[in-house]
Amino acid sequence: METHFHDLRILCENRRSCREYKQDPIPQDAVKKIISIASLSPYAGGRKNWGIIELSDKGQIKALASAIEEEVMEVASSMEKATAEMFKKYALSFNFFSEAPLLLIPYFRVTPVMKILLGDSVKESQLKWERDNSVKSISCVSMLILLAAESLGLGACYMTGPLIAEKRVSEIVQIPPGREAGAIIPIGYPLKTLK
């Protein structure tokens, strides 16, 4: 058992967020392996109310980047000039996924159990708690994606900044109705050694 712990520790220590990728395509076998590991994730309520969209189409990836950039500009337009410039500079990091050959987009569904059980007497805090459970659970799925990618010699990065345009992201990648994107995870062979 100590060997398993040691192997896991090395995998976790070696994992770094990768933001620059070679353009080599990712073999479908590797994608299947990553998703098979992600499917082992724990999830709130014991239900698999989530899925993963694979995206390698450069046109769709470019459309995602454009939608996010438009949303950033729209948000910035409501800020004072100096604040808007800081925000736009910060938000430049929301689009580096566009250089990756593959995106994995985990998505989730919030099951309205509290609304069903409590009807009109449900409190906003209870609905928030229920949604937070789904967000935290999809984060577990995402972590397993990152570790699986690392185990295969692939670079990856957990990105939630792009979800500033979550509605547009969902439309472009055709996330099923009633579901929400939980992250965008670019995956590829690292352009350089990660330290």
- Per residue in 81-94, pLDDT (tens digit) is 999 999 999 999 99
Residues paired with 54 in a beta bridge:
104
Separation of alpha carbons 181 and 134, rounded Å: 11
- Per residue in 56-85, pLDDT (tens digit) is 999 999 999 999 999 999 999 999 999 999
pLDDT at 194 over 70: no
Separation of alpha carbons 86 and 67, rounded Å: 20
What is the SS3 assignment for 27? Answer: coil
pTM of structure: 0.92
For residue 115, the model assigns a pLDDT of: 85
Domains of the chain: 27-188 (3.40.109.10)
pLDDT at 195 over 70: no
Which of the given ranges, 111-115, 161-165, 176-180, has the highest pLDDT on average?
A: 161-165
Cβ contact 34:148 at 8 Å? yes
Cβ contact 81:179 at 8 Å? no
Question: What are the distances in angstroms from CA 61 to CA 7, 23, 77, 83, 92?
Answer: 34, 14, 25, 28, 16
Residue type, 111: T
